[in-house]
Chain A
């Protein structure tokens, strides 16, 4: 928000857009308040909340109950830790590979370059839910069932395409003189990447990391079929596992949702400026 010219004057459209802005804000907040309200309601009330979302009786023990409910299945701290480990590892892996391959696409020429590029593009259009059986068979063939890598490696593969596109575009936009100057100075391509290009690419890198983080943290289908060991259960899987047969205790599920979403939301609130500005600076070039 660094434009330095004064704000546009308000006219009819201005009023309309202000109403839209406020209205949209309310529309976005309402479901969040709803989940919060469900999490402090009794079982019957949770399914019959009034339009203003305040239950007749506010109870706080849903959180304790949900926590012990989860503890009997997979404890919430374990869920969070597992998701964190898988997400962090997959991000590092994806970024490492994406950076290398984008740099190659942007600055080098080699036979088969177009083919490789389209192959990576194919990854963008392959959705996970229709590939469950093939993925499982693949992971099993490589002997990875039961390990965290059964998730991490496929995540890296599915995460590669978009960062590759973004970084390739970014690296290409850098002035040719930058590369040429480094070449003349005798700096190797790897060093050029490491010392010169990457520091400049911070916004684009941030975009990719945020995008990947959200994608990996919330991924469900692959986790469902690949995780065989309950000790490795991730957050989305853990949430699903407490919706039992016949009875869905929505007030407990809501409390569980709040507890497992809280870390991400807190992270977001603290870093939202960097988050968003990183996205903004990194997503679009000129």
Chain B
């Protein structure tokens, strides 16, 4: 009896062992061997949507035609995890060859530590590349530059606009979205009219889980008193006091808009993604802010003709035009491993990044429904039916990018951002006064920069 039991169990254990060995062998043989003679470019990014993916793969194919023996491996992750992935790799002396990064402190620190290539000398020496990067001036400098040194290339734009339903506005007598806040045809007047007609107002997902939405709205409004957002940038870096009048005015304007009902009732509870987008799509709002060109694919093609695009209105007709802009695709070239520090490797990476900035590549972005940073490349009919309906709207957005000033999309000090965004929420809900908030922000800013507000 015992031996039979033992036999059966021996057989099954053997089966398990064999399975294990088989798996392990599969593990061995199917493990990737990095390219030996030919070069393999390891790409890591976080825009995996079909249109971005189609554009990228197309560009890789084109590059391979002119650079024989080059292969690409593409890895996608999410914006949440990209910093973790790259940071862990760099900490261990490893890095992808090209990475799509999020604008923020991590990039700046990478550059300060000399881990990514300084692109300035190469771009400056290349007149053609320079001519292809004229659109970069629309992007807040700290997203791709440290001082005057460029560490990231910009490939597409991600400015933030208002989408609105044309018929909702038409029902109360507006043919386009107001360009001013005050005045007989301004945002406040529109809001009053919409409410009287029983129509919903503007979706704005201010839920504190998406803190940066307070950023967008606040800095856009604050720029009315601070052209170009210069003082805001300085305050973020501890060089200017947060208690100054421009910020008081900005916050008070934000609060007055909120109290007037410009933002729809659930603004404080709703999230940027997906709440404001879906509310707008379901006609629970007549407009939504801030949305960007990548929101287009969120709605059925039939909606495209009914949607209009606008910048956020300014206070009065004489206030400075602003645009909350950012980039949507930016790339860095890590110089972490010894292979990545050779000039031949770097030449190859630079060639690829330059190609991504070429008019042809930018045209391909347009064809895939993404806003190119070289906006002049957005011409011609869009042949892909998935994006054709949205092309006119994208064109409108591109036209709107001819604003005079750009305002920073991000704040970089963690304590400052946290204090500002959480505090704004409390101000809007009436639990905190403007002056109290600004003092809290100033104190938080001091945590980020001990010399604040008089840093050099």
Contacts and interface: CB of A to CB of B under 8 A. Distances in A.
A250 B6 CA distance: 52
A179 interface: no
B42 A228 contact: yes
A68 B54 CA distance: 12
Contact of A232 (B21, B31, B277): B31
A92 interface: yes
Interface stretch (B80-88, B108-116, B349-357, B404-412): B80-88
Contacts of B91: 133, 136-137
A8 to B, nearest CB: 37
A136 B16 CA distance: 30
A225 B20 contact: no
Interface in B276-332: 277-278, 281-282, 292, 294-295, 297-299, 328
Given A89-B23, A92-B16, A231-B32, A224 B85 contact: yes
B81 A240 contact: yes
Contacts of A194: 10, 13
Contact of B23 (A47, A92, A202): A92
B27 A93 contact: no
Contact of B274 (A149, A152, A195, A248): A248
B273 interface: yes
B27 A145 contact: no
B27 A244 contact: no
Interface string A65-86: 0001100110000000000011
Given A44-B281, A132-B84, 9 more contacts: A89-B27, A145-B94, A146-B31, A147-B31, A229-B73, A241-B76, A244-B47, A244-B52, A245-B294
Interface residues of A, number: 53
Contacts of A108: none
Nearest to A225: B88
- 7 closest A-B pairs by CB: A92-B20, A199-B9, A148-B27, A147-B31, A229-B32, A241-B76, A89-B23
Interface of B: 2, 5-6, 8-10, 13, 16-17, 19-21, 23-24, 26-28, 30-32, 34, 42, 46-50, 52-54, 57, 73-79, 81, 84-85, 87-89, 91-94, 96, 158, 273-275, 277-278, 281-282, 292, 294-295, 297-299, 328
B294 A230 contact: no
Contacts of A247: 49, 273, 277, 294-295, 297-298
Contacts of B298: 43, 247
Interface SS of B by simple majority: helix
A73 B48 contact: yes
Interface in A98-144: 132-133, 136-137, 140
Contacts of A240: 77-78, 81
A88 interface: yes
Contact of A149 (B27, B46, B53): B27
A232 B32 contact: yes
Interface string A184-208: 0000000000111011001000000
A286 interface: no
Contacts of A96: 20
Contacts of B21: 92
A246 B274 CA distance: 9
Interface in A231-286: 231-233, 237, 240-248, 250
Contact of B75 (A69, A85, A228, A250): A228
A48 interface: yes
Interface of A: 43-44, 47-48, 68-69, 72-73, 85-86, 88-89, 91-93, 96, 132-133, 136-137, 140, 145-149, 152, 194-196, 198-199, 202, 224-225, 227-233, 237, 240-248, 250
B363 to A, nearest CB: 21
B418 to A, nearest CB: 22
A86 B20 CA distance: 10
A68 B93 CA distance: 35
Interface SS of A by simple majority: helix
A237 B84 CA distance: 14
B278 A148 contact: no
A152 B49 contact: no
Contact of A248 (B20, B46, B273, B292): B273
28 contacts: A43-B281, A44-B278, A47-B278, A72-B57, A73-B53, A88-B20, A89-B24, A89-B27, A92-B23, A146-B31, A147-B27, A147-B28, A147-B32, A148-B28, A195-B2, A195-B6, A195-B10, A225-B84, A229-B73, A243-B78, A244-B46, A244-B52, A245-B46, A245-B49, A245-B78, A246-B273, A246-B292, A250-B274
B85 A225 contact: yes
B31 A136 contact: no
A213 to B, nearest CB: 13
A109 to B, nearest CB: 26
B6 to A, nearest CB: 4
A167 B57 CA distance: 51
B88 A199 contact: no
B16 A85 contact: no
Contacts of A228: 42, 75, 89, 94, 96
A85 B88 contact: no
Contact of B77 (A47, A68, A241): A241
A189 to B, nearest CB: 15
Contacts of A243: 78
B94 A224 contact: no
Given A225-B85, A245-B47, A92 B31 contact: no
A147 B42 CA distance: 15
A72 B48 CA distance: 8
A224 B275 contact: no
Contacts of A88: 19-20, 23
B131 to A, nearest CB: 28
Given A92-B16, A229-B73, A198 B50 contact: no
B390 to A, nearest CB: 13
A36 to B, nearest CB: 19
Contacts of B46: 244-245
Contact of B9 (A146, A152, A198, A227): A198
